[in-house]
A = this chain, B = another copy of it.
Amino acid sequence: MLKPTKKELNRDNLLNQGVTLLMNQGYHGTGLQEILDAVNVPKGSFYNYFGSKEDFGAEVIQHYIDPFITQLTAYLEQSDTDALGAIKRYFDELISELEKSGFKGGCLLGNLMGEIGDTSDVCQRSLQTAVTRYRNLLQSGLAKAQQQGTVRSDKSAEEMADLLVNAWQGALLRMKIEKSAAPVKRCCQDLLGDFFRP
């Protein structure tokens, strides 16, 4: 039970590779063969692990967002007395990772929302829950910052969290085509450093 079975391992490898390839090449731009080859799983075995490509995509979405939730949670718990600073540092780390990867890929959620967000019911639902989970966490961080007096209170934390998520997604798209970190940096500065201040 503690040692992962081969099946669980293959599933996890497929999901990890799915995150990478779907993020960089899109849903329709990535074939199952490519994913399977990358983790040395035979093509015939795919349907032993997942019901369909669409179901796989929906699982990949959740598999993608989990680490981000964990990471942001850690930042918030670590800097308990300065929630706004925690959020800022969290985004700074994201930007640093984006720079390392040469501004490619961006965010799987944003990319898939645009590509199949309104054509695949299964993935649409998965995207909804993933985005909402992330937004809620950001919202709770902003609410704490409001209590600490570092963020304005005349706007709801939910409203600001939504704006932050949306502007961040748009900035990631701009980053991709401009091959520059300037859009995401300015996005954080404008909102966290100005608009959200009391």
Say yes or no: B171 contacts A166, CB within 8 Å: yes
A143-188: which have CB < 8 Å to B? 155, 159, 162-163, 165-171, 173-174, 176-179, 183, 186-187
- A187–B169 alpha-carbon span in the complex (Å): 13
For A127, the chain B residues whose CB sits under 8 A away are: 177
Copies in the complex: 2
Which residues of B have CB within 8 Å of A27? Answer: 26, 28-29
Across the interface, do A177 and B104 meet the contact criterion of CB distance under 8 Å? no
With A115-B29, A159-B190 already in contact, the answer to whether A173 and B177 are too (CB < 8 A) is: no
Asked if A118 contacts B174 (CB within 8 A), the reply is: no
With both beta carbons as reference points, the residue of chain B lying nearest to A160 in the complex is identified as B190
A117 to B168, CA, bound (A): 16
A131 at the interface (CB under 8 A from B): yes
Measured CB to CB, the closest approach of chain B to A188, in angstroms, equals 11
Interface-facing stretch out of A1-9, A40-48, A67-75, A105-113: A105-113
In the complex, A114 has a CB within 8 A of chain B: yes
**Distance in angstroms between the alpha carbons of A169 and B183 in the assembled complex:** 13
CA distance A176 to B103 in the complex (A): 25
User: Can you sample 20 A-B contacts with CB below 8 Å?
Assistant: A24-B119, A26-B115, A106-B114, A114-B114, A114-B115, A114-B173, A118-B179, A155-B190, A155-B194, A162-B183, A163-B186, A166-B169, A166-B174, A166-B183, A166-B187, A167-B170, A168-B170, A169-B169, A169-B170, A170-B170
